[in-house]
Amino acid sequence: DRTLAQKAAMAGAEVMVKTRATGLLRSNGMVTGINAMYMGETHEIKADIVIGADGIESKVGRWGGIDTSLKPGDIETGVQFLVSNIDPGEYNKFYLGEKYAPGGYQWIFPKGEHTANVGLGILGSKSGNVRAISLLHRFLEINMPQAKIVEMVVGGVPVSGPIKQTVTNGLILVGDAARQSDPLTGGGITNAMDAGKMAGEVCIKAKERGDYSVKTLKEYEDGWRATIGKEISRSLKVKNLFIRLSDEQLNQLAHSLDGVDARTMELPKFLAVLFRKNPKLLWELRSLY
């Protein structure tokens, strides 16, 4: 985040630290800026277009009249530790199953120098009273008893798939605020960057035209849905099937990959291989592969 803020500042942006948006400014049916709180004082910040990139709990979208509500089954609760004093190996590792991460998965990402990011995400509709952080502590106690936790990150990830609307007059939503994260993996950085670029390009057009209405901003909506939106919808179908599979069925999928070198496969190709080897189990995905 700090690096991105530095790059934005160097490109001419004014970065306001310790500042939070508290509401939207409006005029004649248009969003025209925000109310912001800085050091205990309220400020009005005028803008031709407001871009809401405020994450899973996006208030900007709700303030703008956009329905961003999520059900428990649409949210992955995630926790990640940066741990040291371990030998994480060379490759990323993933763990699936009810005992590891109900409705989600667990990961180990080696970082070098005897450190790794170890984390998990669990689905709200599948986890019951189980807490993500408790599962992760238990995993470390069993599998990495010597590990030392040096950092912790927690948060939620939307896995709902695209929402119906991401623009209104003078307002654009991007990233997790627009539910643009991948429903299968929970990854959202690449999609958010792509969407952010599209949003910026449309904002330039709007400025040139002097038109900040939904009519112009809809070019952003149409653009991201025609590109990353298709991949998000595909991932949602895969996710909805995978969360219904039992641990036994997941093991069956894993065993079917014996002899397959998946080290350099990207996810779409990996899933295509799984489908070809397990057409009966994954029949619902036939239209995708």
Share of the chain above pLDDT 70, in %: 99
In this structure, CATH architecture of domain 72-158: 2-Layer Sandwich (3.30)
Instruction: Return the domain boundaries, the chain.
Output: 2-70+161-234, 72-158, 245-285
For the chain, the average pLDDT equals 92
In this structure, CATH architecture of domain 2-70+161-234: 3-Layer(bba) Sandwich (3.50)
pLDDT of residue 60: 96
The answer to whether 18 and 36 are in contact (CB under 8 A) is no
The answer to whether 241 and 235 are in contact (CB under 8 A) is no
Residues 6+ apart with CB under 8 A from 198: 220, 223, 224, 227
Selection from 81, 284, 107, 110 nearest residue 186 by Cα: 107
Least confident among 15-19, 180-184, 240-244: 240-244
- Res. 59: pLDDT tops 90: yes
- Res. 58: pLDDT tops 70: yes
268/256: higher pLDDT: 256
pLDDT of residue 197: 96
pLDDT of residue 72: 84
pTM assigned to the model:
0.87
